[in-house]
Structure 1
Amino acid sequence: MTIWRPERGALKRPAYRSLAQSLIGAIESGELQPGDRLPTHRELAFDLGLSVQTISRAYEELVRLDIVTGEVGRGTFVRAGPVETRTPYHRLGGDEDVIDCSMLTPVIGAIHSTRMSATMAELAQAAPEGALFSFRPGQTMRPHRDSGARWLARCGVDAQPDRILPTNGATAAMTVALMTAASPGDLVLSEEIGHHTLRPLARYLGLRIGALASDEDGIAPDSFAHACAANPVKAIYVMPNGLNPTATTMSADRRAALVEIARAHDILIVENDAWGPLQPERPRPIAALAPERTLYFTGFSKCLLPGLRAAYLVAPEALVAAATNRHLVTNWMATPLMFEIASSWIADGTAAALLRWQQRALGRRNRIAAEMLEGLPFRASPNGLHVWTPLPEGWSEGAFVAHARLNGVAVAAGSAFAISDRAASAGVRICLGGPAEAALRRGLETVAELLRGEPDPGIPVI
């Protein structure tokens, strides 16, 4: 059993939080090692003059943060290594008083419930038979492709309906796109801090994944060109419109440079544009520059409504049949009722109205973030759903995320988005869409205090 004990006089109120932070400090300093057993609840309660309930609450917080693990009958131990599935969002209980800035979600208001209720009432009276009874994807989805073409034009992509594949959200589109672009054993490249599901998905599909260096303009062309010259590369995965964790919007020149390299080496491009037209002043999508080699997808859950799990995958003409077949064997077809709602909203202007509402709401939140983080380095886009801030020297991502959580704010560690095990600059993603504006302001204030303060894991911010 470890001999670690915190100093009784160093604990501050609330005691459970201070105790948890003291233990994090011991791990950061090396006083506690992976696998070390912690004192029992009763032992520590007696030594510190605290209640067993206080010790239990501190340990429970550390379990939620994946810092320690409890084993029935054996005790509580410092976690021996990272968990298998790294997720940027936190596991929050319904009774936790935590401002959640870890989950990437749009802003939600009464307008969403009102519009959805009205649309569902209309569908209840006159739902097309094909949306209810058909097993034939081609016939059922044909009118939905036509609606998709109109929405994609708003995104800057000119696509004929027969190149559009409706899918159950962006995740399904991403899976089909990767299965179409590459086969098991092929190498797919992406920026070093990228999509948090790309690495495990590539592993499940048997793909090799490679990380490319990035700068303030996105993927570095030299890094891409060097990787293509060194190894056979099948595809590159890009998020050029601020969606990536570092909130980078790629310039038109940078997009053109990457397309030129992809053409020179005959490489396919998978473009994730899940935010769609949320950013009105962005450059043209890569799919507009290189339609012959780009599998592009966009959806509604990030720019309109989380529950509207509907997306469009646009494939090059030469890959339409392959993408359709892969979608058939993995999903058969997208849920018709979801696309009845999406198509109705596109046709009657609801989608455009909700988009404008979302742009205004996120614009306000980005201004709040700029105010609260003034003087600190951070990166954002005008109507983006998150900001990215590098960590000051002395902070590890794990310690910062844990301290923010213990002070009532959940943020996402940059390592959750790492495409390789290679060390990258430490930073955190702070999502803006979930909390109410007043709570967001408080949460950002707490984060700013941590960023401006000394990185001392043993001292809580109260």
Structure 2
Amino acid sequence: MSIWLPDPAEIKRPAYRSLAQVISAAVASGELRPGDRLPTHRDLAFRLGLSVQTVSRAYEALIRSDVIAGEVGRGTFVKGAAAVEGRPPPYHRIDQDDRIIDCSMLTPVLGPGQAAAMDAVLAGLAGDLPAEVLFSFRPRQALRRHAERALGWLAECGVVVRTDQVLTTNGATPAMTVALATAALPGDTVLTEELGHHTLKSLTRLHGMKLEGLPCDSEGILPEQLEQAARRTGARALFTLPGPTNPRAQMMGPARRAAIVAVARKLDLTIIECDVTGPLNPDRPPPLAALAPERVFYVTTLSKLLMPGLRLGWLVVPEAHLTAAFTRHMVTNWMATPLMAEIASRLIASGEASRLVDWQRRMLQRRNAIAADCLEGLRWRGTGSGMHVWLDLPEGWEEAAFVNSARLRGVAIAPGSAFETGPAPRSSRGVRICLGSPDEESLREALTRISRLARNTPEPDFLTL
């Protein structure tokens, strides 16, 4: 098989960026396919009249973008965009030495307060660790006290329940898995937003379920579209992100939430409400779980809100599904890690968790203000204290092209396509820009670069991406 070579006439200045764009375009168009071998650095440099350093720089940019991979002793091969079920992930692979400002991963703002809080809890555990945390194999015995302490936290989220309705989990994914397996059966259709949770497509496929994304407006799912789709498909469940973690930063208002609940009651739909940032947004309406506790599974966690290493969350289960949900959790996870649950419950009981949320809210409000300043004049939206903003792309830009161009300019962001839940075309294109990971100075620099890029006409090499 012959080795692919670009046309030297396509290479503009700066040459490394142009070469990376040409190769990306060839991959996107299918001219280059996964597994195809690229020329060596030295051979390509000779054929294009470039320096070996220029070719190496272009290849390194493409390796960081997961487009190609270098194999020692074999060469450089097309990898294609990394994907989950045919979609690129919303985050980028960032190596420690990369000069990339990472705005692709949804994370909280990190600071010394989180480390100090964890140090204090761990010091307390050293001299006062309950025996059941270490020695019990029985979920209810090991975790009942932790579920009781979680009631106050859930009340801050707007959900008032009994202890026996609270299932402690190792984060959102186990909670989502249990809720899906309880709310629907293999072969059933699950409805959701047209841009939704990036792991939902894989989770529903794992359970043999069908997933259908629904058209949305600025508040999320349209009630009439929900009713039509539920009648047409016979769907049993709706999975929704009604709060600030929705990719488009859409906050579902009180009236819309009431309308969604009315449709669910009318058609006997079970709702899975994913609310991983809980009480972060001060202006949030009551959760769907507060409006229809008889049919809403409510998912919330601490890792997105307090610190990534605190892998703990809760699933609030409607009374009619208690036995089924707890059984499904036991056969898939047995129980949440008791030691992690103990750490979380102590942070909550001491008030430290609430203090960390207050600090997180203030930091994110500052970062949202930076976004408002840098993106002024562009079409974007956020919730004022959320962990990300959504930027609608100007005419002429495609999502993959914009994300790739931003990456070549040192900023990692997420394309809307990473969150697509079905094949139906969307009315608009955009990117998610996360605000939590960089420091404020780096964030302003990243947003400035993105703003400049969005205000420019796409370069010819990007039009086919």
Normalization by structure 2: what TM-score? 0.93
Query: Aligned to 2:109, what secondary structure does the other structure show?
Result: coil
Rounded to whole Å, the distance in 1 between the matches of 2:80 and 2:306 is 41
* Structure 1 counterpart of 2:269: 267
Residue pair 2:242, 2:252 contacting (<8 A) in 1 also: yes
Residue 150 (structure 2) pairs with residue 139 (structure 1): no
| Cα distance in 2, alignment partners of residues 274 and 440 from structure 1 | 23
Structure 1 residue 223 corresponds to structure 2 residue 225: yes
* Aligned equivalents of 1:185, 1:370: Cα separation in 2: 44
- Structure 1 residues 309-388: aligned runs within 5 Å: 309-388=311-390
CA distances 1:179-204 after superposition (whole Å, capped 9, x unpaired): 11111111100000000000011111
Equivalent-residue separation in structure 1 for 2:340 and 2:229 (angstroms): 40
Aligned: 1:63 with 2:67? no
Alignment of 1:413-424 (within 5 A): 413-424=415-426
Corresponding position: 1:186 with 2:215: no
Match of 1:247 among 240, 246, 249: 249
- 2:255 counterpart SS class: helix
Q: Report the count of equivalent residues.
A: 456
Shift of 1:60: 3.1
The secondary structure found in structure 1 opposite 2:8 is: coil
- Go from structure 1 to structure 2 and tell me whether the alpha carbon gap of 1:81 and 1:143 turns closer, same or farther (over 3 Å shift): closer
Query: What does the per-residue CA deviation read over 1:7-47, in whole Å, with 9 as the maximum and x for residues that have no partner?
Result: 387222xx43342134345667x695547764442222113
What pairs with 1:379-458 in structure 2 (closer than 5 Å)?
Answer: 379-424=381-426, 425-458=428-461
8 Å contact kept, 2:244–2:386: yes
* Residue range with higher mean Cα deviation, 359-368 or 44-53: 44-53
* Deviation at residue 222 of structure 1 after TM alignment: 1.4
Distance 1:9 1:61, change over 3 A: closer
CA–CA distance in 1 between the matches of 2:266 and 2:437? 42
Answer yes or no: is the 8 Å Cα contact 1:25–1:457 preserved in 2: no
Between the aligned residues of both structures, percent identity stands at: 53
SS in 1 for 2:198: coil
Rounded to whole Å, the distance in 2 between the matches of 1:8 and 1:211 is 39
Residue 454 of structure 2 aligns with an amino acid whose one-letter code is L
Query: Which residue matches 2:45?
Result: 45
Q: Deviations over 1:197-217 (max 9, x none)?
A: 000111111111111110111
CA contact (8 A) 2:411 2:446 kept: yes
Instruction: Provide TM-score, normalisation by structure 1.
Output: 0.94
| Greater Cα offset, 285-294 or 80-89 | 80-89
Letter of the structure 2 residue corresponding to residue 131 of structure 1: V
Whether the 8 Å CA contact 2:67–2:81 is kept in 1: the answer is no
Mapped to 2, the partners of 1:187 and 1:9 lie a distance apart of 48
- Once the two structures are superposed, residues 283-327 of structure 1 have per-residue CA deviations (whole angstroms, 9 ceiling, x without a partner) of 100000000000001111111111111111100111111111011
RMSD: 2.1
Aligned residue for 1:274, secondary structure, equals: coil
Does 2:291 correspond to 1:289? yes
| TM-superposed deviation, 1:390 | 1.3
Distance (whole Å) between structure 2 residues aligned to residue 56 and residue 96 of structure 1: 14
Cα distance in 2 for residues equivalent to 1:271 and 1:16: 45
Instruction: Name which of structure 1's ranges 95-104 and 2-11 shifts more when overlaid on structure 2.
Output: 2-11
Match of 2:115 in 1: 113
Contact 1:6 1:19 in 2 (8 A): no
**Which residue, 198, 201, 209 being the options, matches 2:200?**
198
Write the letter of the residue equivalent to 1:440.
L
- How far, CA to CA, are the matches of 2:58 and 2:234 in structure 1? 50
| Alpha-carbon separation, structure 2, partners of 1:168 and 1:213 | 32
CA distance in 2, matches of 1:40, 1:244: 43
**Which residue of structure 2 aligns with residue 7 of structure 1?**
9
Check 1:406–1:315 CA distance in 2 against 1; reply closer, same or farther (3 A cut).
same
What letter corresponds to residue 23 of structure 2 in structure 1? L
The one-letter amino acid of 1:413's match is P
Q: Which runs of 5+ in 1 are unaligned?
A: none
The answer to whether the 8 Å contact 2:90/2:418 transfers is yes
Q: Extract unaligned runs of 5+ from structure 2.
A: none
Deviation at 1:81, TM superposition (A): 7.7
Amino acid at match of 2:94: L
- Shift in alpha-carbon separation, 1:284–1:80, aligned structure 2, 3 A: closer
Residue 243 of structure 1 aligns to which amino acid in structure 2? T
| Structure 2 counterpart of 1:245, one-letter code | P
Looking at structure 2, the residues matched to 9 and 290 of structure 1 have their Cα atoms a distance apart, in angstroms, of: 59
Please say which of residues 127-136 and 75-84 is displaced more in the overlay.
75-84
What is the 5 A alignment of 1:96-107?
96-107=98-109
